[in-house]
Structure 1
Amino acid sequence: MSQIWIISDGKPGHFNQSLGLYQALARLKPDLVMHSLPPLKIRDGLQRTWPEAYQQALASGIPKLVIAAGHATHLTLIYLKWRLGCKTLVLMKPSLPWALFDLCLIPEHDQPPMSDRILPTLGALNPMRPGPKQPDSTLLLVGGPSRHSAWNEAEFFAQLQTLQRHTPGRLRVTSSRRTPDATSEKLAHWPNIEFYPAQQTPPGWLAKELAQTQTCWVTQDSVSMVYEALTAGCALGVLEVPQKQRNRLSQGLQKLADAGIITLFSHWTGAALPQPEQAFDEAGRCAQHILTRGWL
């Protein structure tokens, strides 16, 4: 029985990346045991003491691998490697030198350097899984303004109207925490859609919906949702939003479009989006890579 620790900074997006990798590893090696722990405080390291949660985890043995995402987890990974001798893995482009970690899973759009300690990925890992698809089912994931993207409500609703004209059945729409209140209010009264506000969806709702949805559209700002929908096996289209500047995230989406993996709205003919020709499973690919290294 091998142990994996996830060091979580409390941010759901970061934890989901780690969880997606752990679950992929567990599918290949079912005897894995996982503990989720918060980052150590500086005084814990200086005093060489273990908080209670760490004591409970250590009662089961020393972990063979510790994984994490988020800058706040870096020092804990380095300390655990020094004190316990375990392998460490970070799911991002680290803010500290990457040579301090045994492996870095870095999205290609972050332009990682070549190294045997770096494995480039297509987007961030996630725990989504495909399931049996409901024919003619379509889900639209609506984001909002972000650091890289602006928001033009008129353009969004114009694209929505076009999407409705070419969508069989009733279109389901859900928002996000970034969706402007005015857009959500308008969606709540928009004809011929089923609107599910993000604040009213229970935990696990999106994963369940994506698993059974045949076609998914995502607004361009919601890059993480693009990769989640791909992992769930959806045919994927992207509604375009104004970009504040040319950035690595939009370049990454363009690369997916050039490869025929996603369809940009401006290139859409109105026909049914092409179904995936092969599984999009970056977590599974990374898990297999880790096992070939003999760490578990």
Structure 2
Amino acid sequence: MGQAGVDRRVTAPSSSRALTIWVVSDGRAGIENQALGLAEAVERLTPAEIAVKHVRWRPLFDRLPSAFKTPAMLAPTSDPLTAPWPDLWIATGRATLPLSTRVKAWSQGRTFVVQTQDPRWSNASYDMIVAPAHDGLSGDNVFEITGSPHRITPARIAQAAPAFADRIAPLPHPRVAVLIGGRSKAFDLTEAHAADLADQIADAVRASGGSLMLTFSRRTPEAARAVMTARLSDLPGWIWDGTGDNPLFGFLHYADHILVTEDSANMAAEAASTGKPVHVLPMIPLKSGDKFARLHDDLAERGATRPFDGTLDGWTYDPLAETERAARAVLEAMGTR
């Protein structure tokens, strides 16, 4: 299943009742939001009831290969997984694989099973795999999208924005949202590089007469966080320190420009769903970045992103709606099964 040939009409399973959807993950926000974002996109297209299920394996069994795990090995803190089974099972992450491959048998074939990301195990066992195109996954049940499914839509961030209006609305334009990632297998953010990025960002914001809205990732090294905070704190704006409600949606809603480090496929694709100019900040590569290069090439070809060149020139493009496109494909496949 590629990008072409998806009917823009919603084709829901024939039923007079709401679709039941289980969102299954180990509870980590970055993992859960992929499955939940896809479920919410389905719900926007057809009446549905979403239940979130968290599963964890007992420590003794966690490292076992997926093929050997059984529900009896789940930790007592896991949510119950019992009949009635859902119409649609959307799962993400390694912890869910032993369950995703079995739920169809448990439901006697009634449940449609979707796995996001590349499962890397028993890939033919799922009705559909919604995978990032830059992963290069192929198969009859693979539906490729740019980036990963997520929860960000213009309507959703607009709904969340009023909670932060008192703090953000008075800030001068252009308002520059800056999303900083951190160390990963492919990239690093050293203190020296963070200082250099901070100086470039500060120069651009000052030259424009605008303001800054900055948030860090959990992966941002403390030294990088400290040096960027120190060098940017005199600008008009808000550097979120992690206390209180996360203002990310407010930042995205009120931003005129979005700057995002290149290390996170999710952050770049989410930012591109706003339709606002997305400037990509370079990181220090630790190994070949072919996958990330493919993603950023895709975003650039769509007109969503450009490398940050120290200026805040604007441009327009059609906001990415890849999660909704995947949701339509799920409903289409369920309707034809």
Q: TM-score, normalised by structure 1?
A: 0.86
Task: Assess if the C-alpha contact under 8 Å between 1:211 and 1:233 holds in 2.
Answer: no
Unaligned 5+ segments in structure 1 are none
Show the counterpart of 2:62: none
Show the counterpart of 2:218: 177
Q: Pick from 295, 305, 311 the counterpart of residue 252 of structure 1.
A: 295
Relative distance call for 1:199 and 1:263 in structure 2 (3 A) is: same
Show the counterpart of 1:19: 36
SS of alignment partner, residue 294 of structure 1? helix
Percent sequence identity over aligned pairs: 24
Show the counterpart of 1:160: 201
Q: TM-score, normalised by structure 2?
A: 0.76
Distance 1:76 1:242 in 2: 38
Show the counterpart of 2:80: 53
Distance 1:97 1:162 in 2: 50
Q: Does 2:320 align with 1:280? A: yes
Q: Does 2:136 align with 1:120? A: no
- Give the paired residue count: 283
Relative distance call for 1:291 and 1:185 in structure 2 (3 A) is: same
Q: Does 2:188 align with 1:147? A: no
Show the counterpart of 1:229: 271
User: How much does 1:94 deviate?
Assistant: 0.9
Paired residue type of 2:225: S
Relative distance call for 1:295 and 1:201 in structure 2 (3 A) is: farther
SS of alignment partner, residue 272 of structure 1? coil
Show the counterpart of 1:7: 24
Task: Assess if the C-alpha contact under 8 Å between 2:194 and 2:228 holds in 1.
Answer: no
Q: CA RMSD in A?
A: 2.6
Relative distance call for 1:213 and 1:83 in structure 2 (3 A) is: same
Distance 1:37 1:269 in 2: 44
Show the counterpart of 2:60: none
Q: Does 2:91 align with 1:68? A: yes
Relative distance call for 1:91 and 1:212 in structure 2 (3 A) is: same
Paired residue type of 1:278: D
Distance 2:23 2:210 in 1: 41
SS of alignment partner, residue 260 of structure 2? strand
User: How much does 1:201 deviate?
Assistant: 4.5
Distance 1:101 1:45 in 2: 22
Task: Assess if the C-alpha contact under 8 Å between 2:130 and 2:143 holds in 1.
Answer: yes
Q: Does 2:318 align with 1:294? A: no
Relative distance call for 1:184 and 1:3 in structure 2 (3 A) is: same
User: How much does 1:221 deviate?
Assistant: 1.7
Relative distance call for 1:175 and 1:292 in structure 2 (3 A) is: same
Task: Assess if the C-alpha contact under 8 Å between 1:216 and 1:236 holds in 2.
Answer: yes
Show the counterpart of 1:217: 259
Unaligned 5+ segments in structure 2 are 1-17, 58-68, 162-168
Show the counterpart of 2:120: 95
